[in-house]
Structure 1
Amino acid sequence: MFTVEQIEAAHSKVKSGADFAAYIQDIKKLGVTSYDVFVADGHSDHYGNNRYKTSSPGNHEFLTIGSSFYSEQFKQGLKDHQQGKTDYASFMKMCAKCGIEKWTVLLDKLTCAYYDSAGNEVLVEEIPL
């Protein structure tokens, strides 16, 4: 199965949201079936077949998640990030301010779902490859 180190090596190639599709392809080849990223500290849980799970440690200072979801601000910030206009740290800060607690990527469905601080799914996007 895959390791945190392999995931981190693949993630190290990501400089902006514009690199996301290549990252997805890389980790799918490793055997990742889905993963969750938690905005507050940046840690992630990666899942594989047969209930395999590995977790990466937090990778930034603790961010307070906003208690309200700001849909339009989030959608604009996400669009900017996907176009390569922001780096990952800026994207995480924007997510926290807009009330995003985590996102979940399902590699078999090629979707990315964003969740607010109440656990509500607020946006699902298809991942273009």
Structure 2
Amino acid sequence: MFTLEQTNEIHDRLGNASTLKDYLLALRAIGVLASVSYLTDGHTVHHGADGYEVVTEPTHEVFEVAATSDKEAFVEQLRLHETGVTSYVEMSRGLAEAGVDKWTLDTMELTMTYYDRAGTVLLSESV
């Protein structure tokens, strides 16, 4: 099974928008089936076969996730980050304020999906 050190090394090397597909493929190669990142504090749960999980440390202070989602504000936060206007932490704060609870990376389907607190899919994209 994969280790926290392996997932962290892959994230450090490939964890950005320009190498997202390579990031997912590298995670898949070590046995990660999906990764779920939570906006509240930035921790990620990497899921493997048979219920195996590896959990990262939080990456930022705790953000309150809005009870209702605002899709327009959510999409604007993604745009700001994609164009380099905001840092990862600024984007995370903005997404939480827009009601995004988490995103999942599916290494088998090569998708990234964003969810609100109710578990409703706000956006799902192929990588």
Q: How many pairs are equivalent? A: 127
Normalised to the residue count of structure 2, the TM-score between the two structures is: 0.87
Q: Deviations over 1:63-91 (max 9, x none)?
A: 11112211112112223434544332122
Task: Report the RMSD for the aligned CA atoms in angstroms.
Answer: 1.9
Cα contact 1:103–1:113 (8 A) shared by 2: yes
Higher helix share: 2
Query: 2-side partners of 1:96 and 1:48: how far apart?
Result: 26
SS at match of 1:69: coil
Could you tell me which residue of structure 2 aligns to residue 39 of structure 1? 39
Letter in 2 for 1:75: V
The alpha carbon displacement at 1:54 in A equals 1.2
Percent identity for Structure 1 against Structure 2: 30
The alpha carbon displacement at 1:26 in A equals 2.1
1:123 matched to 2:118: no
Q: Note the residue ranges of structure 2 that are not aligned, 5 or more in a row.
A: none
Cα contact 1:15–1:88 (8 A) shared by 2: no
Normalised to the residue count of structure 1, the TM-score between the two structures is: 0.85
Q: Note the residue ranges of structure 1 that are not aligned, 5 or more in a row.
A: none
| Superposed structure 1 runs of 4+ greater than 4 Å apart | none
